[in-house]
Amino acid sequence: MIVEEKTISTERIYEGKILNLRRDLVTVRGNKTAYREIIEHNGAVAVAALKEDGKMIMVRQFRKVAEKAVLEIPAGKIEKGEDPYEAAVRELQEETGYTAGKMELLASFYSSIGYSTEKICLYLAADLTPGDTDFDESEAIDIEEYDLKDLKEMVLQGKIEDAKSISAVLMACMKLDV
């Protein structure tokens, strides 16, 4: 039987630029209590950008968590008060230089529902027009293009390790029957 956890108290542990950390004391199964450590995040957007030739625009950048360069779809955080659609348009242009004539929401999902409030809105972008990138000053990004079939194979072989990118590739393949 599922029992809703009620928050008894909240302790703010850390406040940062892109995330906060809190510890909630909650009720569990009757009179018992437990702590939940929760990362608060404004959310993010991710874009599966498909060119007319069937290639998907990918970005490769060093990720400290993985201690290596990782292949991903363009993505970024939603600024406070920013509309997710507008954030997706902005991130696609900043990271790849492309603008999209069509942008469709494919899905929204929690990145790690066990401990983070981050929800990612995943968009499919088409009718792409190239332009200039506008990287953040801390970003060093290589832009790459891959056939969607090849990306699907890379996912199945474990060569793409980023969850949002795995989701994007597989969802694009399903939508386009690849």
What is the set of active-site residues?
137
Phi-psi region for residue 88, left (φ > 0), alpha (ψ -120 to 50) or beta?
Answer: alpha
The residues that bridge with 146 in the sheet, in sequence order, are: 56
* CA-wise closest residue to 120 among 133, 139, 106, 134: 106
Q: Judge residue 57's burial from the number of C-beta atoms within 10 Å of its C-beta, 0-12 exposed, 13-18 middle, 19 or more buried.
A: buried
3-state secondary structure of 111: coil
